[in-house]
Amino acid sequence: MIAVKSKGLLSILTFSEKRKDILFLLENSPRTLSEIRDYFNVSSPEISPRIKEMEAANLIIRLDKHYQITPIGRAIAKHYRPFLDMLDTIERNESFWSEHLVDDIPQFLLERLADLDKCEVVADPLENIYESHKVFRENLSKSSTLKGVSTIFIPTYPDFFVGLAKSKTPAELVLTEKVFSKVVSEHRDKLQVFLDSPYSKLYVIDDVRLAFVVTDYFFSLSLFYANGSYDPRNDLVGYESSALKWGNDLFEHYKGMSRQVTSI
């Protein structure tokens, strides 16, 4: 076996897209050189040097004309794929993650950002910043449950949540102290309708610099800019089960930090 320094292994996998792809291909099953060549639609002179480099690094081995992944290669692939998924998730919506504060996303969920790999940023026109996004409203109409954290007051929300209560839609909402105080002072009767429903639960938290909704159908996340102002236009929206699980875990995190309100 040839000893290879860790920086050598890192360069083998990161400096060549083809070597990475070969590793993941052989992770599934052994392949002959011909099968590998045909899979990538390349010639032997193009692929053979990559294979030799991976053999030398003890990532793959040739047995009975078939190349297969080594135990070391399999161990590396297991941890390397999530790393790439994480990078892909961030790069897919790079400006969303780089221009906003993520400090209030708990570390254990930041480490699971790959769960949001299929999410896309949905932006509303500037003139609609005080209305719910069209996509947001359409997604809510397809949902039968709702959980969310709200850090800003939107005038249409009191009527919306009264509608949820009257339609017997299971809903749990976390409001910041400031938003809660505003709703109590300006929409007390509507808030009471929400609280009186056996399908509704309300919680209050001191403060948080993000807002989101997660239902049985979709997840939508809004963040604050680095200067501390809320971004009302750009939502990260996803529909995959992994995104819904991520959103539910985020809600449970903030629910656990909140106090429940049962009456006013």
Question: Does 130 map to a domain?
Answer: yes
> Cα–Cα distance between 162 and 1 in angstroms, integer?
69
121 and 227 in a common domain: yes
Residues 114 and 244 in one domain: yes
Same domain? For 69 and 108 the reply is: no
Coil vs helix vs strand at 66? strand
Is residue 112 included in any domain, yes or no? Answer: yes
Banded pLDDT at 132 (limits 50, 70, 90) = very low
Task: Read off the pLDDT of residues 196-212 as tens digits, 9 standing for 90 and up.
Answer: 999 999 999 999 999 99
> Do residue 130 and residue 30 come from a single domain?
no
Going by the DSSP 8-state scheme, the letter that residue 253 receives in this structure is: H
154: CATH? 3.30.870.10
- Verify that 197 and 144 share a domain, yes or no: yes
Q: Is the pLDDT of residue 2 over 70?
A: no
> Looking at the predicted structure, is the pLDDT value of residue 127 above 60?
no
Answer yes or no: do 74 and 187 share one domain. Answer: no
89 lies in some domain: no
Q: Which residues contact 219 (CB under 8 A, 6 or more apart)?
A: 119, 212, 213, 237, 238, 239, 243, 244, 246, 247
Based on the fold, state whether residues 123 and 213 are members of the same structural domain: yes
Q: Write the burial class of residue 264 (CB in 10 Å: 0-12 exposed, 13-18 middle, 19+ buried).
A: exposed
pLDDT tops 80 at residue 120? yes
Q: What percent of the chain has pLDDT over 70?
A: 90
Number of domains in the chain: 2
* Same domain (yes/no): 129, 190: yes
Is 129 a domain residue? yes
What domain range is 52 assigned to? 6-82
Of 26, 48, 82, the residue that ends a domain is 82
Contact yes or no for 214/148 (Cβ under 8 A): yes
**197/239 same-domain check:** yes
Q: What is the pLDDT of residues 35-83, one digit of tens each?
A: 999 999 999 898 999 999 999 999 999 999 999 999 999 999 998 888 8
Confidence (pLDDT) at 181: 95
Same-domain pairing of 204 and 233: yes
CB 258 within 8 A of CB 174: yes
Same domain, yes or no: 65 and 166: no
pLDDT at 6: 45
Look up the CATH number of the domain holding residue 36: 1.10.10.10
Answer yes or no: do 73 and 116 share one domain.
Answer: no
In whole angstroms, give the CA distance from residue 149 to residue 104.
12
Q: What's the DSSP call for residue 113?
A: G
- pLDDT value, residue 123: 84
